[in-house]
Amino acid sequence: GQQLNQSPQSMFIQEGEDVSMNCTSSSIFNTWLWYKQDPGEGPVLLIALYKAGELTSNGRLTAQFGITRKDSFLNISASIPSDVGIYFCAGQLPGSQGNLIFGKGTKLSVKP
Amino acid sequence: SAVISQKPSRDICQRGTSLTIQCQVDSQVTMMFWYRQQPGQSLTLIATANQGSEATYESGFVIDKFPISRPNLTFSTLTVSNMSPEDSSIYLCSVRVTGLTGELFFGEGSRLTVL
């Protein structure tokens, strides 16, 4: 099936540092979404992107929909301990029935 | 967005038994999906729950193993049948509030452990 390549797989950073993660695919997507999942919880939507080139912010989070429509990145500025969790990218293929394909996740650890 | 309630939140089950997970949404939604998240893994779509008709299953998932119901626009169930330890996973209900594209919102998941 379709695959999203998400990297890095994990990150261990110091509080206050900026973080960057990305997803790439060989296929074109018409929607990119970024989710965060805390232990024992369902994924929570952070940012949704609908147009190639779109750059959207949500507080300290910024995400972009790549111009080629085959990639997206998520940046977190000035990380804090509560940023810890697993971040997933997800994309929707054109013509799909509305379901999302998920990346394998980036596990973020923040050292105070 | 939508408030999505799943029951049970967790359960420990015996091999060979079946368990039904319920998903209740606080408003009518256009689409409901069931995902599986195996330990330490990403999310994989099991099926799209269609209101009033048979669910649409993804490759690798079959109705006999994962029967799904969706009697109305706010409720769906997923049954995991004849469970084996390999079925130990988090099962997540997700919904799209309007239209066919855009954001999916997730319930908190049902964590099943099969002994």
pLDDT at B61: 96
Give B31's contacts in chain A (Cβ within 8 Å). 98
Tens digits of per-residue pLDDT, B27-36? 998 889 999 9
| Mean pLDDT in residue range A61-81 | 96
CA distance B36 to B45: 6
pLDDT at B6 over 90: yes
- DSSP state string for A1-55: ----EEE-SEEEEETT--EEEEEE-SS--SEEEEEEE-TTS--EEEEEE-STT-E
Spatial distance between the Cα atoms of B9 and A106, rounded to a whole number of angstroms: 25
Token code pair at residue B3: 């408030």
Judging contacts by C-beta atoms under 8 Å, the chain A residues touching residue B4 are 42
- At residue A2 the predicted structure's pLDDT band, cuts being 50, 70 and 90, is low
**What would the mean pLDDT of A61-79 be, rounded to a whole number?**
97
B43:A88 CB<8 A = yes
CA distance A110 to A112: 6
Contact (Cβ atoms closer than 8 angstroms) between residue A70 and residue A25 = yes
Residues sharing a CB contact under 8 Å with residue B45, sequence separation 6 or more, in sequence order: A99, A100, A101, B33, B34, B35, B58
Q: Looking at the predicted structure, is the pLDDT value of residue B21 above 80?
A: yes
Q: Is A77 helix (H, G, I), strand (E, B) or coil?
A: coil
Q: What was the pLDDT predicted at B30? A: 85
Q: Is B34 exposed, middle or buried (0-12, 13-18, 19+ CB in 10 A)?
A: buried
Query: According to the model, what pLDDT value does residue B1 have?
Result: 76
Give percent of chain A with pLDDT exceeding 90: 86
Contacts of B30 in chain A (CB under 8 A): 98
User: Is the pLDDT reported for residue A1 higher than 70?
Assistant: no
Mean pLDDT of chain B: 93
- DSSP structure class, residue B12: E
Contacts of A102 (CB under 8 A, 6+ apart): A4, A88, A89, A90, B42, B43, B44
3-state SS, residue B106: strand
β-partners of residue B110 are B91
A51-57 mean pLDDT:
95
* Cβ–Cβ below 8 Å for A100 and B107: no
Residue A84 has pLDDT above 80, yes or no: yes
Give the residue from A99, A102, A106 with the most B CB atoms within 10 Å of its CB, the best one to mutate. Answer: A99
CB–CB contact B96 A50 (8 Å): no
Query: Is residue A71 a contact partner of residue A7, using CB atoms and an 8 Å limit?
Result: no
For a pLDDT cut of 70, what percent of chain A falls above it? Answer: 98
